[in-house]
Structure 1
Amino acid sequence: MSVAPHPPTAPTDAPPKTAAARQPRPGPLGRLGMWSARHFRTMLIAWLVVVAALGAFAPQVMHALSGAGWQADGSDSVKARQVAEQHFGGNASTALQIVVTADRPVTDAPVQQVIGKAEGLAQADPRIAQIVPPQPGATISKDARTAVILAGAKASPDAMVRAADDLKGPLAALSGNGVTVHATGASVLWSDFNTANHDAMMHSEILSWPVTLAILVLAFGTLVAAGLPLLLTMAGLIASAGSLVLLSHLFPVSIWAMNFAMMFALALGIDYALFLVVRFRGARMGHHRSTAHAVAETMDTAGKAVLLSGATVLVSLSAVMLVPSPAFRSMAGGIMLAVLFVLAATLTLLPAVLGKLGHRIDAVALPWVRTGEHRSPRFAAWGERLWRRPVAYGATALVALLALAAPVIGLRTAMPSIDVLPRSADARAGYTAVQHAFGPGAPGTLQIVAPTAQAADTERVVKAESGIAAVMPAQRAADGSSWTLLQAVPAVDPSAKELGATVNHLRADLPAGALVGGAAVENLDLQHTLTQKAPLVIGVVLALGFLLLLVALQAPLISALGTLASLLSTGAAFGVARLVFQDGHGAGLLGFTPQGFLDGWAPVFFFAMIFAIAMDYTVFLLASAKEHFERGGDPKQAMVGALAHSGRVIFAAAAVMVAVFFTFALSGPLPPKEMGIVLGVAVLLDAALVRLALLPVLLRLTGRAAWYSPAWLRRMLPKITFSHG
């Protein structure tokens, strides 16, 4: 994305008039950059005000964000839960179950005292509705050593997760003298799940920081320049965290939104800062340009690529909004919010800082760094090699990607089982105790609500279903409404695939108006929705990615090839995920027990994230190639020049991302491991095989046709160029 290098010349901030007269007129982003550079104090104060105003809310983020929302809005199971909440004292899937186990009968006085204290703790919480004490023949085990107290849900699913956060500790503290108390149920499961994953992600981020800083110093070559991504990341993170807290007052925002926002803010902050800083240093080298004009050139070239890259990330993630699940939508929204703030800081605050630093950007440089070096001789040599032998290198990369992607054909997905929680977690301990006392399906009890007029037919169908082990007596609504609740215990563990067949049979045979729900069924309905929506989300992501590349590059062929190349690395990453997490290859090394499937949210959510990152690098490489092609119309110079000027940036940015993502593979719980391996492998393959091999080869093989655009298309598209002057 730059002209051929000239011998180093000391940059000057006051160029001769003849040089100034030859300065090309900056474009819109160039003028924005120059204004920011010349008004450093104004820009700095503006950002300090934004960060301070939103940062005042940031400390509340962990408490304000919600822990639930993993549901398919509008599904029968959610409707059943709503009926149970309204008409059956909160005896719904979000109710808390307090499991008391003892080394003596639970009817003994000391155990009864513990049960009474547990009921009192639950009753004192305003989010708890009706308390149902242990019932013989229903919630007291046959050996009388286990009892279950039901604490009904009086609040939203998110508030019930917070109730679990607050109650599980005091309840566990009642244990002692041969009596053990654990809280379990869906709300406690999500409480433990969110805590375990948050702790693991924070631990991984702490581990990744030293590696990230080391790579940044090596990539930038100077300590001053290496600190700039941290400036963008901190500004973006603080602003987005405060914004998420404010948004949580309007609608529930998943706590995972902040976790993913932190990760993307760091990754993109590094990408964008690296791209602009390297270009700025090159613009100041040997052109007799002032700092302001170097900023203008940087923004008109690299800044334009960053803007289009950010837009690509945003539209890719926006497709996740098509999934009717609050958790998915808020996670995507949180990432998009962080990207917006990082993008805004990159296009305004960073040019201002660059303008202020000027030649001091190279301060505290490493001994072997050539100050201002922009074109990489090594990547230029690599480009020449690819140009000479495109078929050999291209075929090797393509075969490797297809081979890794092939296992995707047998990929299975499901919602995570209780095994993703640590054995010490309250929800898992209570879950295990309930299974031992009441049977394998007891933790996944189905809740079936039906109009009272159809209660008898509903009970007959449920009792006749072979997948049901026990049916509790029908319960009429206490508020006088025309609803009846039946609770049925499945014959299998809630995570067993046979449960899905049982639920399908019930729904097919039950009278009209009857609804099958329960926590396990909500998981099944969410998985079904994700499976249904995956093709739509993937199609929309691909279509929007292609359209943005088409607008940016004005060239249909290379835009289509760039989009398909991104799909290859994504498919290869999921192929590796199947081998690791479904088939268990490397499970011992990574320290987990395979579930036999990949978690259900991975295909939709991880696809959007991977594609967004892949297109990020695509824009950087192809924008640089287009700049070179605009300057000379030479396909070889476009390909080789793109690698020479952006290859090192892509390589360094990918190295940081891979280091960050792979640290999550060291986390305890399974979901962060899945995220770390899938995203890390995707970035590694995309940078090494697609951006630095396959895509340049495609530029070589298509030649001038890669940049051809019919006249009618050029008339429709806005004119976008990447060359400066």
Structure 2
Amino acid sequence: MSTVGPIGRLGRYTATHFRVVAIAWAVIAIGLGFFAPRVEHALSGAGWESTGSESVQARDLLDREFGGLSSSALMVVLHSQRQTVGDAGFAGAIDRTERTLRADHRVGRVIAPQPGVSISRDRHTAIVQASAAASSNEMVRAADDLKTRLPQVDGVQTALTGASGMWSDFNVANRDAMMKSELISWPVTMVILVLAFGSLVAAGLPLMLTILGLVASAGTLYLGTQILDVSIWAMNFALMFALALGIDYALFIVMRYRAALFGSKLDPVAATTETMDTAGKAVLFSGLTVLISLTAVMLVPSPAFRSMALGIMVSVAFILAATLTLLPAVLAKLGPRVDKGALPWAHSGEHRSPRFAAWAERLWRHPIAFGSVALVLLLVLAAPVLGLRTGMPSIKVVPDQDGSRVGYGLVQQAFGPGATGPLQVVTPSAQADATRAALLRDRDVAGVLPTVRGSGDHVLLQATLKQDPSAATTGDAIDRIRDALPAAALVGGSVAENHDLEATLSAKTPLVIGVVLGLGFLLLLFALRAPLVALIGTVTNLLAVGAAFGVARLVFQEGHGSGLLGFEPQGFLDAWAPVFFFAMVFAISMDYTVFLLSSAKEHWERSHDPREAMVGGLAHSGRVVFAAAAVMVAVFFTFALSGPLPPKEMGVILGVAVLLDAFLIRLLLLPVLLRLTGRWAWWLPKPLDRILPDVRFGHA
């Protein structure tokens, strides 16, 4: 009698208790689905900050003692080519704007345009400020509402800008881009799935997992917003990973099930048990690897980052749970009907692909030739990463016609390039003169606005820089000014907040990368019980990541292909990309690594022949890796073709990474390395043998 592991026993239980499993998931779907439609309006649009930084301390002090005159405050720009602020039409537009702002409960006080401060020298441009009476996230929602209510007067242009306005416009553009990408990707995904599965019924199973994972994730994220702020990006990334992993896991499970059912002639329950005891175990380790990779992002002290990672982890957890319980129950219930609507060329019982077996044999015969080509190509693509520059997103991430970008341009035109992002310096009253003098001495400060006194013992000095807030020299100017100011002075404002977050990301990136690599290696070691294979699987992931970021530098920093993709290059990559996209790319890469190496380990356990381990592993998993990668590349590249700049960065980096990882590393370089290391690949030192659990991927 065969020995069945815990995952196999779980598969057998779900196969024989379909009604129990179906009811349990129906309760989850209905219960969380009730909250899912509310999630979009509950998610936050801000949170891009470094918790505990000097700029966040300054913002808190400004909200507390200066009536909300912080970076979250709203700024409405009014401009007329013909009229000036003294004309009746222009004055009426200002008055109606002020009344509209005062009517919103999230606005504290409204500050009318003032000569020399917020009225331009030619008097054709004026700024109305509205202080924040709510949190930064609520002020983004206030911007969502107010930008549609602002008065439109003939001859007077009105635009809501500032940090809250920018994030409001960006989030709307991002949401529209995501919806557009989904409309494009779903039909492409269906075509690839039908071709990969060869059956209409089987092709629908990944979509079942994806939809269930999305509904459950959306409902869970809504409940999470009742406790903490969750970024709107969390839902976007949850969608991507639910779709990507739902397809990956369903491909691996369904193909193994069909081989056991039709190839080995097992009954549906036995086929399900064997499938979950082998492929199910690999899926479990793959899911754990993804979750572990994403936990490292939690090391970045930023609400937006942590909630985005949380959103992905929630979707992965639901997809993994459904794959290990609902999918085997449905497969056992379907039995032979899993092939209903089969295409003429589908081979239901074929688990070992003749094409990938032939490819593996070719790699076995000529490892150096094939491996060298792959390695050189990856290194050439990765070389540009050495000159990669990062920065926080500029106004260029917002579409040209949106109010925040229009207002940004009007402010710069009327008041100078640095007026869109003044530094807000909060200092004790006794040090006001010394602080003003230190600011005026700095070579990058264009001017300092009149002092504003707060309700406590602090004053506010707003310094306008000579350069655009996104200029490369702005960060150096902030650091230099902080060093020159009295110790008690705090430098804040949206530009300082961006600078502090960028500095935190730069400091945390090596730690996050190290943690991801270390935990990934340990999990592979735990699963495969082979230190050299675990090391190879971890290190080769870095090649795909490095090559993807090398391409990202050429596209987004240097601007190659910007016309084709329809964006204006910023001259740098957004600062969150290295840490966040690295964790995402590594998680996806490890997905394929586990599928390939677990299959190779299964063949090694049976034969103890390195050739059979390499050839058999690739022959049995190659088709899954190929099909899953094709779907992921198609999905990710749709994000590269629509929307604002950050989704384009995400689409290109993840799409290129998956493309290179699947086709150059998992289907070429990794098998070659298994060939070159031979038996040593599966060597296990005796001390490790005593402490590692006996994990096997074969069904004995």
> How far apart in 2 are the matches of 1:287 and 1:531?
53
> How far apart in 2 are the matches of 1:551 and 1:535?
24
> How far apart in 2 are the matches of 1:521 and 1:67?
19
Q: 1:550 to 1:643 in 2, by over 3 A?
A: same
SS at 1:689 equivalent: helix
SS at 2:550 equivalent: helix
Q: How far off its partner does 1:117 sit?
A: 1.3
| Corresponding residue for residue 422 of structure 2 | 445
> Which residue identity does 1:334 align to in structure 2?
G
SS at 2:507 equivalent: helix
Given the alignment, which residue of 13, 19, 28 partners 1:50? 28
> Which residue identity does 1:376 align to in structure 2?
S
| Corresponding residue for residue 32 of structure 1 | 10
Given the alignment, which residue of 194, 201, 205 partners 1:217? 194
Q: How far off its partner does 1:180 sit?
A: 1.3
> How far apart in 2 are the matches of 1:680 and 1:613?
11
Q: How far off its partner does 1:286 sit?
A: 4.0
5+ residue gaps in structure 2?
none
Number of aligned positions between the proteins: 699
> How far apart in 1 are the matches of 2:345 and 2:297?
45
Q: Is the 8 A contact 2:49 2:500 kept in 1?
A: yes
Does residue 316 (structure 1) correspond to residue 283 (structure 2)? The answer is no
| Corresponding residue for residue 526 of structure 2 | 551
Q: How far off its partner does 1:587 sit?
A: 1.4
> How far apart in 1 are the matches of 2:147 and 2:537?
51
Given the alignment, which residue of 349, 358, 363 partners 1:372? 349
Does residue 280 (structure 1) correspond to residue 257 (structure 2)? The answer is yes
Q: 1:286 to 1:199 in 2, by over 3 A?
A: closer
Does residue 564 (structure 1) correspond to residue 542 (structure 2)? The answer is no
Moved more, 240-249 or 277-286: 277-286
Given the alignment, which residue of 276, 289, 292 partners 1:299? 276
> How far apart in 2 are the matches of 1:410 and 1:443?
29
> How far apart in 2 are the matches of 1:519 and 1:93?
5
| Corresponding residue for residue 657 of structure 2 | 682
> How far apart in 2 are the matches of 1:623 and 1:285?
22
Q: Is the 8 A contact 1:362 1:372 kept in 2?
A: no
Does residue 541 (structure 1) correspond to residue 516 (structure 2)? The answer is yes
| Corresponding residue for residue 531 of structure 1 | 506
Residue by residue, what CA displacement relative to the aligned partner does 1:335-371 show, whole Å, maximum 9, x if unpaired?
A: 0000000000000000000010011111110011122
| Corresponding residue for residue 10 of structure 1 | none
| Corresponding residue for residue 40 of structure 2 | 62
| Corresponding residue for residue 117 of structure 1 | 96
Residue by residue, what CA displacement relative to the aligned partner does 1:164-188 show, whole Å, maximum 9, x if unpaired?
A: 00101111xx123101111110000
> How far apart in 2 are the matches of 1:318 and 1:504?
31
Q: How far off its partner does 1:82 sit?
A: 0.8
> How far apart in 2 are the matches of 1:286 and 1:94?
63
> How far apart in 2 are the matches of 1:287 and 1:395?
39
> Which residue identity does 1:48 align to in structure 2?
A
Q: How far off its partner does 1:27 sit?
A: 1.3
> Which residue identity does 1:169 align to in structure 2?
T
| Corresponding residue for residue 421 of structure 1 | 398
Q: Is the 8 A contact 2:178 2:643 kept in 1?
A: no
Q: How far off its partner does 1:114 sit?
A: 1.6
Given the alignment, which residue of 207, 211, 228 partners 1:251? 228
| Corresponding residue for residue 601 of structure 2 | 626
Alignment of 1:14-163 (within 5 A): 22=1, 24-102=2-80, 103-163=82-142
- Give the root-mean-square deviation of aligned CA atoms: 0.9
Q: How far off its partner does 1:287 sit?
A: 2.9
> Which residue identity does 2:663 align to in structure 1?
A
Given the alignment, which residue of 383, 393, 397 partners 2:360? 383
5+ residue gaps in structure 1?
1-21
Does residue 327 (structure 1) correspond to residue 304 (structure 2)? The answer is yes
Q: How far off its partner does 1:142 sit?
A: 0.6
> How far apart in 2 are the matches of 1:408 and 1:154?
43
> Which residue identity does 1:655 align to in structure 2?
A
| Corresponding residue for residue 5 of structure 1 | none
Residue by residue, what CA displacement relative to the aligned partner does 1:106-134 show, whole Å, maximum 9, x if unpaired?
A: 12222222211111111111111111111
Q: Identity, % of aligned pairs?
A: 63
Does residue 617 (structure 1) correspond to residue 592 (structure 2)? The answer is yes
Given the alignment, which residue of 450, 457, 477 partners 2:434? 457
> How far apart in 2 are the matches of 1:387 and 1:159?
60
> How far apart in 1 are the matches of 2:347 and 2:298?
46
Alignment of 1:656-675 (within 5 A): 656-675=631-650
| Corresponding residue for residue 577 of structure 2 | 602
Residue by residue, what CA displacement relative to the aligned partner does 1:512-546 show, whole Å, maximum 9, x if unpaired?
A: 11011111111111111111111000000000000
Residue by residue, what CA displacement relative to the aligned partner does 1:577-607 show, whole Å, maximum 9, x if unpaired?
A: 1111111111122122211111111000000
> How far apart in 2 are the matches of 1:692 and 1:345?
28
Q: How far off its partner does 1:25 sit?
A: 3.0
Q: How far off its partner does 1:476 sit?
A: 1.2
> How far apart in 1 are the matches of 2:63 and 2:164?
14
Q: Is the 8 A contact 1:309 1:616 kept in 2?
A: yes
Moved more, 546-555 or 707-716: 707-716
